[in-house]
Amino acid sequence: MSDHPTRHEPQSWEQLSPEQVIELLVYELYSPVSLLGSQLRRLTEDDDPLSEEEYEAIFAQMDHAVRQLSKTVVHLKRYSEERKRL
């Protein structure tokens, strides 16, 4: 995906076509899902013990990714509700 759309606020999603929303969702979901997967692997499969600071950093990154996913879900829900009204 070389042409990444910019982050959209929920209001602008309403003006997007379903194809554009799918493209935006792929862009919005890719980074946090990838981060969560890699950090979970690091926590569960890493043979080297992690320091407390590393654990804190990992959990902070995971928390940020979950918040990003939550915002995307809210945007999608609003988009879906608006489409039902049309």
Query: Which ranges of 1-86 does DSSP label H, i.e. alpha helix?
Result: 10-13, 18-45, 52-85
State pLDDT tens for residues 32-80.
999 999 999 999 987 788 899 999 999 999 999 999 999 999 999 999 9
Tell me how far apart the alpha carbons of residues 22 and 3 are, in angstroms, rounded to a whole number: 14
User: Do residues 39 and 61 lie in contact, with contact meaning Cβ atoms separated by under 8 Å?
Assistant: yes
Per-residue pLDDT at 3: 45
Picking from 24, 4, 29, 2, the residue whose alpha carbon sits closest to that of residue 13 is 24
Residue 2 has what pLDDT? 40
pLDDT at 11 over 90: no
**pLDDT, tens digit, 9 for 90 and up, residues 13-24:** 888 888 999 999
Per the model's pLDDT, the better-predicted residue between 29 and 8 turns out to be 29
Amino acid code (one letter) for 55: Y
